[in-house]
Amino acid sequence: MSKIALCPRCKTEMRYVTEVGRSNGSKQVFRYYYCPACSLRLLDESFRVTIDGEAVVIRFSQGSRRPIVVGR
């Protein structure tokens, strides 16, 4: 049984999107649920990777609002 995520606003099936961006030498990854019907975005997790000299710094954060997950 697979799980699908429903939009908490309009109950449409949400898509899972991964987006990668770069700024000032650091790389940022966003993973979020996107509702094609009402354009609602719910951040699932994001992390920023920064190279600081020899060290690689990873900052991780997680979204607090969750979609409704149901089995199909």
Task: Indicate the residue among 13 and 27 with the shorter CB distance to Zn ion.
Answer: 13
CB of 5 to Zn ion, least distance (A): 11
The identity of residue 48, as a single letter, is: R
Radius of gyration of the chain (CA): 15
Token look-up 């060290």 returns: 55
9: contact with Zn ion by CB under 5 A: yes
Task: Indicate the residue among 43 and 49 with the shorter CB distance to Zn ion.
Answer: 43
Cα separation values, 59 from 5, 41, 42, 70, Å? 26, 21, 19, 30
Binders of Zn ion among residues 45 to 64 (CB under 5 A) are none
Among the listed residues 4, 10, 57, 70, the single contact to Zn ion using CB under 5 A:
10
